[in-house]
């Protein structure tokens, strides 16, 4: 897939999905900047895969700029950005969920995607590159209690398409994957009870919650030169969940 010697920056790389992608890219020979607001977690993963830990708060423009500058200075010009930093920020019915929960997800998931995508395009301009967002099936399929999060992921889909259109002349492709539930620290509590797991599993025609390994091949494809003519797509990786409406 052409990752050998390429420079990748993965946000949320101390987490489940970002960590799996950073590890896979490093295994294919990429030099990976492991970016996360959790500096210790980033350092742990970077140590394990021979990457560069980059403390980065995606809500903060200066922090994002500094993180890209550090990755470029220490590894070289960034070819690939996978943006996996994200939060759910609690949950609850729209009538009662605290407005703070909305503010939290908008700050990380929307503002963060905006800032990271812009910084990535600036870093890639003139050389080209690929950006992959981690959206969610929830962007188009509601679940009671997750409306605030779903709104943020619908915005991620919109930013994916807007950025794909605007950055195409720069040679920068922008795509997203939209997972259903995935086994990660983010969902550990939500999937802990047998009832909760059954709720999700019954919605998925292929009959199980995803693992991070289910996501890696599609993200690698969208990040690699093999998908040179694909931009502006949002690819569901959901075991058929969206088929059920
Ligand atoms: N796990 C799922 O079921 C699932 C499903 C669909 C989409 N997603 C999306 O996938 C992405 C990754 O989720 P995950 O399951 O790996 O979660 P995770 O909690 O395991 O990892 C998320 C990572 O993002 C980091 N992060 C949070 N706020 C940040 C900030 N302000 N700046 C930088 N980093 C920050 C966290 O420290 C963490 O390491 C998220 O965008 C999430 O919304 C997850």
- For residue 216, the tally of other CB atoms under 10 A from its CB is 18
Domain coordinates in residue numbering, the chain = 7-236
Residue 224 in this model has a pLDDT that exceeds 80: yes
Tokens of 47: 């140590």
| Cβ pair 235, 40 in contact under 8 A | no
Give the mutation target among 65, 85, 154, 183 for probing the ligand 1 site: most ligand atoms within 8 A of CB.
Answer: 85
Average pLDDT across the chain, whole number? 97
Please state the rounded mean pLDDT for residues 82-91: 95
Residues 6+ apart with CB under 8 A from 130: 79, 80, 81, 172, 173, 174, 175, 222, 223, 224, 227
Instruction: Pick the range with the lowest mean pLDDT from 183-187, 223-227, 231-235.
Output: 183-187
Confidence class for position 190, pLDDT limits 50, 70, 90: confident
CATH architecture of 7-236: 3-Layer(aba) Sandwich (3.40)
The tokens for 227 are: 């998908």
Question: 158 pLDDT exceeds 90?
Answer: yes
Structure confidence at residue 168 as a pLDDT band (50, 70, 90): very high
136 ligand 1 Cβ < 6 A: yes
- Report whether pLDDT(73) > 80: yes
Q: DSSP secondary-structure letter at 126?
A: T
């Amino acid at each position: 897939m052409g990752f050998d010697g390429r420079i990748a920056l993965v946000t949320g790389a101390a987490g489940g999905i970002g960590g799996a992608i950073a590890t896979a890219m490093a295994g294919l020979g990429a030099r990976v900047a492991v970016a996360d607001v959790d500096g210790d977690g980033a350092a742990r993963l970077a140590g394990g895969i021979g990457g560069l830990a980059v403390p980065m708060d995606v809500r903060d423009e200066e922090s994002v700029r500094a993180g890209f500058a550090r990755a470029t200075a220490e590894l070289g010009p960034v070819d690939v950005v996978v943006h996996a930093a994200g939060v759910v920020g609690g949950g609850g019915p729209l009538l009662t969920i605290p407005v703070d929960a909305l503010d939290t997800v908008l700050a990380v998931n929307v503002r963060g995607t905006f800032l990271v995508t812009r910084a990535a395009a600036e870093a890639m301009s003139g050389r080209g590159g690929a950006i992959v967002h981690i959206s969610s099936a929830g962007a188009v399929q509601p679940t009671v209690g997750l409306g605030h999060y779903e709104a943020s992921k619908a915005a991620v889909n919109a930013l994916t398409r807007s950025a794909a259109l605007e950055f195409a002349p720069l040679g920068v492709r922008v795509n997203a994957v939209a997972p259903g539930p995935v086994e990660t620290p983010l969902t550990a509590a939500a999937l802990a009870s047998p009832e909760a797991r059954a709720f999700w599993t019954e919605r998925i025609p292929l009959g199980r919650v995803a693992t991070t390994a289910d996501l890696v091949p599609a993200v690698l494809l969208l990040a690699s030169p093999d998908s040179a003519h694909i931009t502006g797509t949002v690819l569901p990786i959901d075991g058929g969940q969206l088929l059920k409406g």
